[in-house]
Amino acid sequence: MGAGKTTVGKVLSKRTSYDIYSLDEMITIRENATIPSIFKHKGEAYFRHKEYEVVKEVVFKQNKKILDCGGGIVEKEDSMKLLKKSSTIIWLNCSLENITSRINGDNRPLFTPNKNVITNLYKRRCTLYEKWADIRVNADQDPLKVASEILFQLQI
């Protein structure tokens, strides 16, 4: 949520010519609804299940690819197990302060003005990303630098 995954993914796609798959975009197209609407009317569990279905579809395509996953993908262990088995998981580690300033005003279903709720969500997800990530990159910097760091760590 707000770490720059979509922006960095697009930069990486341009630099590598790898296909990029935005899981959130794929879900919204299939559901013909926005993510906030899906969360509101069908719930987070429904959304996470749809996210898992899209992951299953995309990860085993034979092309070189970048998956632009929503920040909450770490909340569903089945999705993470599948990604871990088939992909290199990169954690764009960003401070809560930068995340908050980046998404201020965005319509994010789990973002709330309640600082305690956001802090707990941030801490929980950081713990999960720490568990699953193969590579950790400081995302508190310009997206072009973040992309360069990823390419360096992947030796591409």
Q: How would you write the pLDDT of the chain (156 residues) with one tens digit per residue?
A: 678 899 999 999 999 999 999 999 999 999 999 999 999 999 999 999 999 999 999 998 888 999 999 889 999 999 999 999 999 999 999 999 888 887 765 566 566 667 888 899 999 999 999 999 999 999 999 999 999 999 999 998
Identity (one letter) of the amino acid at 147?
Answer: A
- Torsion sign over Cα 131, 136, 140, 146: negative
CA 45 vs CA 21, 32, 75: distances in Å: 21, 18, 10
Geometric angle at alpha carbon 83, from 39 and 60, rounded to 5°: 105
For residue 123, being part of any structural domain is answered with yes
Residue ranges of the binding site for ATP: 2-7, 108
Domains held by the chain: number: 1
pLDDT at 104: 64
The CATH code of the domain that includes 114 is: 3.40.50.300
Residue ranges of the binding site for substrate: 24, 48, 71, 125
For residue 91, being part of any structural domain is answered with yes
Residue ranges of the binding site: 2-7, 24, 48, 71, 108, 125
Q: For residue 142, what are the domain limits?
A: 5-150
For residue 156, being part of any structural domain is answered with no
For residue 100, being part of any structural domain is answered with yes
CB of 4 within 8 A of CB of 140?
no
CB of 66 within 8 A of CB of 18?
yes
For residue 155, being part of any structural domain is answered with no
Distance of CA 88 to the CA centre of its chain: 13
Residue ranges of the binding site for Mg(2+): 6
For residue 107, being part of any structural domain is answered with yes
